[in-house]
Structure 1
Amino acid sequence: MLSGLFTNNKTVSSLGCLLQFYIFSFLACTECVLLSVMSYDLYLTTCNPLHYGAAMNLRICAKLASGSWITSYLASTITVNLMPVLTFCGPNEVDHFFCDLTPLLQLSCTDTHLVRLAIFAFTSLGAFPPFLLTVASYAYIIATILRIPSTTGRQKAFSTCSSHLIVVTVFFGTLITVYLTPTVDTWRALNKVLSVFYTILTPMVNALIYSLRNREVMKALGRALNL
């Protein structure tokens, strides 16, 4: 994708396009599940701090991490395996800056109704349950924070999950907007812009958002900027 953005070569082979979509769907699905796992971890930290050591040990962390990758692998593999049954007659011009699902389906000259339903079912398994778990976790977290009597305590508790909340809002907000908005010409340009957020911006600023809470990083940043 970056090669296409920064060079004049705007062509990609059918296999390369399918591979790009597979990698994108696999990593995007993994991101969804991992964000929900992190929200569950924050829920335990905020709502059940005394039981955190028993509820989130190294073995459980390993299971949650491996489960995230395995679930995403299965969902994305099944989704991509449905694509070769389609016939593409041309003009094979993807109306996007990478090989995404909707632009590829729009290029097909065969009936994509059943394929769309099947893909929607499998991708929903990898996106909606993590999203609902994230929403439920934050509902409990916010309710717990609001019950803290002191203002300082509430601010400290909210600062613990603020970084993750920013990433979740940007990632899920743009992802849901892109895939739930109508596929009409007036929305295509907006969808391309929003796609930048969850494909490029969120992974790029992840390290920045989380590390800015680290005192050593803040000190190093201050020295670099002569503050």
Structure 2
Amino acid sequence: MIRTLLVDDQRLVRAGLRMLCENTADIEVVGEAENGHQATQLVARLVPDVVLMDLRMPGVDGITATSRILAAHPAVHVLVLTTFDDDEHLYPALAAGAQGFLGKDAPPEQLLDAIRRTAAGESPFSPSVLRRLIRAAVDAHRTPEAPAGLTDREREVLALVGDGLSNAEIAGRLHVAVSTVKTHVAALMTKTGATNRVRLAILAHRG
């Protein structure tokens, strides 16, 4: 069961998110917060697996809350869900340690999948956000090209990570076990020095 904390200053939004999560068999809403200060307190008490974090809230905003939460509880995963998916909010949220970033216009199925992927240690992003991150990194030449020592299978996995696919989707595409994909992703991170899937995706588009 994925223990999830909902953080949003709009009660109606929290109610909709709770209803969506409670209709699943594997996601449990363990608490709600209407601002970053409450979120920080609840994380300390509940230690959820995933925090679904809004960004613009009165008092302590979502970016500040994310930074405080992860400083105190680095094993907690923060997934941003926001109306504002512009660069002004995206990059500070990632710098604060957010693991994924979705717009509130994401389909319900995509949001539920993102919660599961976040809990599993992956980095889900809205397709438009991922494209923007990759384009910005490639344009700025902040990432070296993929090393030459990758196996053919690792290059296949890297390309699919670059397309934004989850481990389960890659496994289905390549007709292998999810555990095999995880092994390849771990090997890619070791060989490339990438610290997360976003960095791998950037490498995929530069290599």
TM-score by length of 2: 0.27
Q: Which is higher, the Rg of structure 1 or of structure 2?
A: 1
| Higher RCO (CA 8 Å, separation ≥ 6 residues) | 1
TM-score by length of 1: 0.26
